[in-house]
Structure 1
Amino acid sequence: MRAVSTPPTLPAPARRDAEATKAAILKAARHLLARHAHADITLKAVAERAGVSPPLVLKYFGNKDALFARVMSFEADADALLDAPLDGLGRHMVHQVLVSQSRQGADPLLRIVFAPLHGEQGDILRANFRTQVTERLAARLTGPDAGLRAELAVGMLLGLGVMYGIARGAHVRGAPVDDLVDRCAPALQAHLTPGAGTRPS
């Protein structure tokens, strides 16, 4: 008698990776914070956007204040934004902002644009941005007016990010990322290393 073969047992669905879940929750909270006042955002809204249950948000972050304390931090974004040698940092920063928005749907800096919406929480957002982004960049610069140059460079990035991600300029969004980097990076680099050339060696 011919043995009847049984279909292979399918593995149980893999448990959702905890880090991926946390990242989805943070991304959802960032999205909502960029469009609504802090007081109007609920954990339920964050959970729905992230595709998880509200108890899961509580499991990973404890409460709304703890979640938004993470969202209002720019430390991880600054790590990625500043991760290049100084002589090529302008190109890297422009590329990082554009790729984050165009390919990942993230907004590494634009949360600061909406600080006025958030009352006291907006003050926290501004303070974090100042210490974690602009002052950290200024500490890497040499020569006079490092703080001013850092703020001007970051301001240029914010303007590009607003045009790309918020105003959604058709010409900017229609241009290849590498073309935008080629056009924007030299002006930004001029603030970072004035008089030292605008392209990395």
Structure 2
Amino acid sequence: MSAVSTPPAPEAPASARRDAEATKAAILKATRYLLARHARADITLKAVAERAGVSPPLILKYFGNKDALLARVMSFHTDADALLDAPLADLGRHMVRHVLSSQREQGTDPLLRIAFAPLHGDHGDVVRANFRAQVTERLAARLTGPDPGLRAELAVAGLLGLGVMYGIARGPHLRETDVEAITDRYGPLVQAQLTPGG
């Protein structure tokens, strides 16, 4: 007698995956908005759900609980994975392209969240510590030569300035110029900190 095999579950349609990603993004955006204005303890899943236009159970489905959601919002780990996903010799160009593509496709630059971290209080301290550990220190660990920490911070500062000019100041010349053209001009400036003299 042969064993009965269970057919694999059908894969979710691409549109359903896109909708799920858009919903998660709306939840994260709503949480960031509330965290910039309220203490962590005062934020409820109901408030996040109302701001995101979803139900509280949907937040639980995607993120597990309030603590997990807040931890995700205060983390840069996933964003840093994408930002730093290139060989060191081409990393400056990759990082510039990534920041601009994020702005154009998602209307936001995940790194720019650091600019909105509260100056005082536990939330701001956690966000800054995460940013240092997950972005600048991680980048510095890849660099060779003198002053890797300083060079990493200068490279990231250049990216943050680019993100501010594009997303906040809304520089018209920057916004209407092709991403690759900007990458050709700005990538070498960032790369100069990553591989000085290289």
TM-score (norm 2): 0.81
Q: Rg bigger for which structure?
A: 1
Match of 1:80 in 2: 82
Q: 2:182 aligns with which of 180, 183, 187?
A: 180
Residue by residue over 1:14-64, the C-alpha shift from the partner in whole angstroms, topping out at 9 and shown as x without a partner, is 89559534444234434x268x32437553453245442122213433443
**1:131 pairs with 2:133:** yes
After the TM superposition, list the runs of 4 or more consecutive aligned residues in structure 1 that deviate by more than 6 angstroms.
Answer: none
Quick one: distance in 2 between partners of 1:138 and 1:162? 23
**1:112 pairs with 2:114:** yes
**Higher mean C-alpha deviation, range 57-66 or range 129-138:** 57-66
CA contact (8 A) 2:108 2:167 kept: no
Report the AA paired with residue 96 of structure 1: H
Cα distance change on mapping 1:132 and 1:112 into 2, 3 Å: same
Match of 2:99 in 1: 97
CA contact (8 A) 1:38 1:117 kept: no
Structure 1 vs Structure 2 CA RMSD: 2.4
Cα distance change on mapping 1:184 and 1:123 into 2, 3 Å: same
CA contact (8 A) 1:44 1:54 kept: yes
Aligned to 1:116, the other structure's residue is in SS state coil
Report the AA paired with residue 105 of structure 2: R
Match of 1:66 in 2: 68
Structure 1: runs of 5 or more not aligned: 1-13, 197-201
Cα distance change on mapping 1:109 and 1:80 into 2, 3 Å: same
Report the AA paired with residue 52 of structure 1: V
Quick one: distance in 1 between partners of 2:107 and 2:77? 19
Q: Kindly tell me the number of residue pairs found equivalent between the two proteins.
A: 181
TM-score (norm 1): 0.79
Quick one: distance in 2 between partners of 1:54 and 1:174? 39
Structure 2: runs of 5 or more not aligned: 1-12
